[in-house]
Amino acid sequence: MEDILADPSMTTLHAILADITTLEMDAIVNAANNTLLGGGGVDGAIHRAAGPDLLAECMRLGGCDTGDAKISGGYRLHASHVIHTVGPVWRHGVHGEPELLAGCYRRCLELAVAHRLRSIAFPAISCGAYGYPLRLAVPIAVQTVRSFDALDALDRVVFACASRDVLEAYEAALDEPGQ
């Protein structure tokens, strides 16, 4: 499903069923851990697909705080850049998780714009091993992207969904006019 805004010169938002490591984008987002040195899930998949040069660069980045993001090269990926962000671990939503999650999306978009990138793909940040409930995380993701001040600097934002249930959640949120 695609959310195309009224003006064709504006950013399009897409939700697709895809392996984020295979996408041809200016940047893909890595749902990383604080070390940026690889891990499980999408983090491990991105590191494996990008090759050892990504790990070498990430070692020089010095880690990343939760809610923040850092950018690296894409190496063997089809994306020219990887934007690494550290989502919050779900602790029942009472430890600033919504704000931290929104911060992840916002910081990734800020880095994309600062580096003059035109397209970016996001995974469902924090919804895997970090346990953030999909039904709560997806509206935050979509709303944060839609309300980003410099969104028109991008041509395309993709929500790369690893499974059909994640895709359906994003499609529903993108169909909501208030989201």
Residues with catalytic roles: 43
Angle, nearest 10°, between helix axes 164-175 and 134-146? 50
**β-pair partners for 31:** 85
For residue 143, how many other CB atoms are within 10 A of its CB? 16
116, with CB counted inside 10 A (0-12, 13-18, 19+), is: exposed
For residue 99, how many other CB atoms are within 10 A of its CB? 11
3-state secondary structure of 175: helix
For residue 48, how many other CB atoms are within 10 A of its CB? 14
